Amino acid sequence: MITYVKMHNFMSFKDVLFDFRNGRKGAKKFISIYGENGSGKSNFVTCIDLLRKSIESFYMLGETGRIAEFAKEKDIPQEIVEMLVKSSNIQKYIESCRMIECDEATEVEYGFQTSGHEGYYIMSFKERFLYEKLYYFTGKQRGVLYEIDYTKENPKIDFSNKLFKSKKIELELRDEISKYWGKHTLLSILNKEREEKNEEYIKESYLDYVFDIIDMLKDTTIHCKKSSSSGSEVNSYKPANVLRDLREGKIKKDKEDLLDRSERIIRDFFTQAYSDIKDVYYDRKIDSDVILYKLFVRKMIGGKIRTLSFDNESAGTQHIIDIIRSLLGAFCGVTVVYDEIDDGIHDLLLKNVLESMIDDITGQLIITTHNTYMLETIDIKSVYLINVDYQGNKEVKCLDKYPRIQGTNNPRIMYLKGLFGGVPIVDILDYDTILQELDDSSNVEGGD
């Protein structure tokens, strides 16, 4: 779970701290981030997405080639191809995370909690990675597992004596660092090591705890529109006992129990959340040892229950499927980060969805939203506001830090009145000048 995030020169954040610590209880399990449009909510999600991507940067290189090949085959427009390539190349991605017109390095510090232990991870970069440090559990106590510093004339690479189980492994890793570090982080190099070498070798070579962080990040699910062309999640494998694609697809016949379980979950949710949906089911076609499935609903329309493909439902209703699949991860100990979770969904429906599942979270759910109805019922310790001053400096505060809130006050009304900040304060727009410009333009065209 994420305990805090510090950003320096990251996109629109000069210096900011998102502190999700809950005293001695570790990280908060539910966080809802508010702020006016352009305040940086999506930039925060991008910051988590960067951490997730940075550990798989070697595999992103292969993805770039596949994108180019697919784009050529499907005749995809060049601007979309460029966006896809940028999101699949770690160098281009970190460049997009830099503050505009800033010569200083960008630095991000991530606090985390996993396997019952807390630690932090720091990365600094410009066009390439310049600094990296991991502070975590070393077996019996906490300490620095490694630190790599290329910000000075004489680079420094320090390792904890607990990290390796032999000097030979340390020398091998130093060789890997000389080849790859800067274009890749050490976490990504370690991830590559584990993926390419057998499990027994890894156990005999490295401190087990260093891979706790990698596992936590690989399980993290992120919905960030900037992270991929479709805006869909960076898929987590958890929960593994539910279909990864809930709309349609194919599975092996001996995995039909996944289909049955997923069907029950979706049916229970939609029949309770929507008064007109009476049933949800998968249409199944067997092809050899494979089941082709597609989601359908039975819905009350014009006094009669009618059957239609889920594809025909509204964009908001279809979006609920994405939310369900992600939230299931939060029930299974995974960190889920969801940008603009309220996009296309009625405020009251989303409020009910989230309220009904908060108590069942065993992992962590972090959302950005404009849904103010939740402020009336959720714990104010879960609410964070991004405020922007007249110089563009930003501050993030938890709602429980505002002294004005008392038991009889309604936080939602107070928020909408601007008492906490985080809402757009603008003068009444005067359209007379715009109309005059349009009128002048029409006269000029008429004169021609």
- Assigned token pair, 415: 């928020």
Is 385:34 a contact under the CB 8 Å cutoff? yes
Judged against a pLDDT cut of 90, whether residue 18 lies above it is answered with: yes
- Average pLDDT, stretch 100-118? 94
Is 276:290 a contact under the CB 8 Å cutoff? no
Its CATH architecture, for the domain 1-235+332-441, is: 3-Layer(aba) Sandwich (3.40)
Q: Which residue has the higher pLDDT, 163 or 445?
A: 163
Orientation angle between helical segments 78-87 and 57-74, nearest 10 degrees: 170
Judged against a pLDDT cut of 50, whether residue 348 lies above it is answered with: yes
Judged against a pLDDT cut of 50, whether residue 232 lies above it is answered with: no
Judged against a pLDDT cut of 50, whether residue 88 lies above it is answered with: yes
Say what the pTM is.
Answer: 0.85
Q: What is the pLDDT of residue 443?
A: 65
Is 31:365 a contact under the CB 8 Å cutoff? yes
Distance CA 276, CA 53 (A): 41
Distance CA 21, CA 28 (A): 6
- Residue ranges of the chain that CATH labels 3.40.50: 1-235+332-441
Q: What is the pLDDT of residue 230?
A: 34
- Average pLDDT, stretch 312-338? 86
Which range (75-79, 213-217, 297-301, 315-319) has the least confidence?
Answer: 75-79
- Average pLDDT, stretch 438-446? 66
- Average pLDDT, stretch 275-297? 94
Q: What is the pLDDT of residue 67?
A: 44
Judged against a pLDDT cut of 60, whether residue 402 lies above it is answered with: yes
Residue 292: CB atoms within 10 A of its CB come to 14
Label residue 233 by pLDDT band (50, 70, 90).
very low
- Average pLDDT, stretch 407-428? 76
- Helix then strand count (H, E) for the chain reads 13, 18
Label residue 336 by pLDDT band (50, 70, 90).
very high
Which range (72-81, 155-164, 244-253, 393-402) has the least confidence?
Answer: 72-81
Q: What is the pLDDT of residue 229?
A: 32
Judged against a pLDDT cut of 50, whether residue 49 lies above it is answered with: yes
Rounded to a whole number of angstroms, the distance between the first and last alpha carbons of the chain is 65
Distance CA 306, CA 428 (A): 47
Please give the mean pLDDT across all residues of the chain. 85
Judged against a pLDDT cut of 80, whether residue 387 lies above it is answered with: yes
